[in-house]
Amino acid sequence: MKLFRLMAVLLVTIAAVPVAAHHSFSAEYDFNKPLKLKGKVTEMKWANPHAWIYIDVAGKDNKVEKWAWETGGANALYRRGWRKEDLVAGTVLVIDGYQARNGSKTANATSITFENGKRLFAGSSSQNSATK
């Protein structure tokens, strides 16, 4: 039920999450390192100016890699109906975006796809932004 509510909120709203960058994403992330990872949510860090989604990804030799994905800010998510507890641990996601230039396991999310194939924008960068 909770996931259903989240999906409903996301479907209606995520595509319009505004850009609220406080720094240059183009400076921080690497155009030459596009990334698509499937993983399980371990935590959502509800923060400004950007929220973070942490996922566990099965890496090489089945070793678990921990990845941090930067998304839109908590205030933008709140205004669109998200609540802190909505993205529950264990939810499986495929996230698209770009890896940080400093080589850490950090990336900027340009879209989030749920297991059922619904593709949703994360809105931390320019894609589908209503307000800039």
Partner 1 sequence: MLLRRQACVLLGLFLISAALISCSRSPASSAGSIPRTADGKPDFSGIWQVRNRAAADLEDHVARHQAPAGKGVVQGGPIPYQPWAAAKKIENARNRATADPLATCYMPGVPRIMYMEFPFQIFQTPDHIAMTFEWSQVHRTIYTNGAPAPDGIDFWMGDSRGRWEGDTLVVDVKNHNDRTWFDLAGNFHSEALHVVERYTMRDVNTIDYEATIDDPKVFTRTWTIKMPLHRQTEADRIFEYQCQAEAEEASGAFEPDPKTWYPGPSVTVQTPAEWKDVQTVWKAPAPKGTIKRMPDGKPDLQGYFMPDGGGGNYGLGKHEQDFLTPEGRGVIVDPPDGTLPMQAWAKAEAESRKAPERGYDDPTAHCFVAGVPRSMYVPSPLQILQPPGYLVILHERMSWRTIPLDGRPHLSDHLRLWQGDSIGRWEGDTLVIETTNLNGKTWLNEVGEIVSHAERVVERLTPIDVDTIHYEATVSDPLVYTRPWTIAFALNRQKDELLEVACHEDNQDLQHLKDIRNEARAKAKGQS
C-beta of 27: minimal distance to partner 1 in Å? 3
| Six-digit token string for 101 | 């230039």
Residue whose C-alpha is closest to residue 128's, from 108, 110, 116: 110
How far apart are the C-alpha atoms of 94 and 111, rounded to whole Å? 8
C-beta of 117: minimal distance to partner 1 in Å? 25
C-beta of 84: minimal distance to partner 1 in Å? 7
Assign residue 30 a region: left if phi > 0, alpha if psi is -120 to 50, beta otherwise?
beta
Q: Which of 59, 68, 94, 113 binds partner 1 (CB under 8 A)?
A: 68
Instruction: Write each residue from 19 to 58 as x if it is in contact with partner 1 (CB under 8 A), else as -, in one continuous string.
Output: xxxxxxxxxxx-x-------------x-xxxx-x------
Question: Is there binding between residue 104 and partner 1 (CB under 8 A)?
Answer: yes
Pick 79 or 118: Cβ nearer partner 1 = 79
What per-residue string of b and e applies to 97-108 under the rule 16 or more CB within 10 Å gives b? bbbbeeeebbbb
What is the dihedral angle through the alpha carbons of 99, 106, 104, 22, rounded to the nearest 10 degrees?
A: 90
How far apart are the C-alpha atoms of 57 and 79, rounded to whole Å? 30
Q: Which of 2, 5, 12, 75 binds partner 1 (CB under 8 A)?
A: 75
Contact footprint for partner 1 (CB under 8 A): 18-29, 31, 45, 47-50, 52, 68, 70, 73-75, 78-79, 83-84, 98, 100-102, 104, 106, 108, 125-126, 129, 131-132
